[in-house]
Amino acid sequence: MATVVITPEMQRANAEALLGRDPGKYRDPGQRWTAKRYAEIQRLLKQTEADTPVTILNLNPFPLKINGGVYFPDQVPPCMPGEPYAVYVIKQTRWGHRDLGCDSQNMMQMEPVPAIPLVLAAEYIREFVQQEGGFGGVLCYVGTHDPRSFKKGAKIRIPEVAYNEQGEFYVEVRERDFHEALAAVRQKRNDSLLRRLQSANAWHENDSQRMNVNDAHRDMARLAFHEGLIPELPRWVMQSSTLMEKQPEPCPSCASQPKAGAILCVNCGHIFDVLAAYRNTRIAYGAVEMDRLTAEEWKVVHQIKTERDKAKGKAGA
């Protein structure tokens, strides 16, 4: 059997043939075969309307990106505070290929493999809604209908990923009530937002974890605040510039001006930040200053106390 050497030029021509507009243009029989397959598959998709565009609604404050190589170049834009969602339409089928090798006449065969909008959109549903631990906040439906014009009780068709008995993946289109489906993914998103913000709050309290709080958390906090999920913006959302400009309040005990971020007054020893003071062992558990702790801060104090007692117990054993 003769060895076929594939040059970069041939590879380039093959890739072009995968999206070949005109099969007659190609002299190489392999490329002609590929271009012809491409035209056939595309015609079939059009005839069956399998290439219908799909609309994606993103309720999340971050852009959506699927890791899937050539099939997922899209970046679905984030939802802005004040908006119910960002709207993005996958209009076109995306094409990859499968290398079938050479046939008995040494003709190279590259099979074009389509990923129709329906299948692409199902991947977003799988990752953000179906998957365990998915963030929520994503809804897809077949067609380009304007989501704002859906009336009460309007039905949409949602592509979802399903698996057959052999564990093979396929896409199932389910009919759902638009507003109910939207409410469900919004609820899941809200739960995720609050969970993430809780982590960010805990990190912020901890000197060694504070750098984990990033702009993604700040965007989540702004959206959560806007949606009324949290009564006020966390401290770590404030612009660093406004924090710098803002003078700390004078000490309530001696009225001297403390430095920004000071835990206690250098003049009279009044504790400004009770939680930080306990963490840094400037005060002991049960100190009178602890009467100023909030319920949330008490939780953190108990956590620290438990850890310290555990460490002490271990050392004693």
From 46-54, 183-191, 206-214, 249-257, give the range in contact with Zn ion by CB under 5 A.
249-257
Site for Zn ion contains 198 (CB under 5 A): no
Handedness of CA 190, 195, 201, 203 (dihedral sign): negative
Residue 41's beta-bridge partner residues? none
Residue 90's beta-bridge partner residues? 54
Residues ≥6 apart with Cβ < 8 Å to 292: 274
Nearer to Zn ion, 112 or 258 (CB): 258
Nearer to Zn ion, 84 or 252 (CB): 252
Choose among 97, 133, 127: nearest CA to 115. Answer: 97
Site for Zn ion contains 268 (CB under 5 A): yes
Residue from 265, 275, 290, 300 that binds Zn ion (CB under 5 A)? 265
Rounded distance between C-alpha atoms, residue 138 and residue 149, angstroms: 18
Residue 254's beta-bridge partner residues? none
CA atoms within 13 A of residue 278's CA, in its CB half-sphere: 23
Site for Zn ion contains 257 (CB under 5 A): no
Site size for Zn ion (CB under 5 A): 7
Residue from 35, 64, 251, 271 that binds Zn ion (CB under 5 A)? 251
Site for Zn ion contains 270 (CB under 5 A): yes
Site for Zn ion contains 254 (CB under 5 A): yes
From 30-38, 119-127, 130-138, 248-256, give the range in contact with Zn ion by CB under 5 A.
248-256
Rounded distance between C-alpha atoms, residue 38 and residue 19, angstroms: 7
Site for Zn ion contains 267 (CB under 5 A): yes
Give me the residues that bind Zn ion (CB under 5 A), please. Answer: 251, 253-254, 265, 267-268, 270
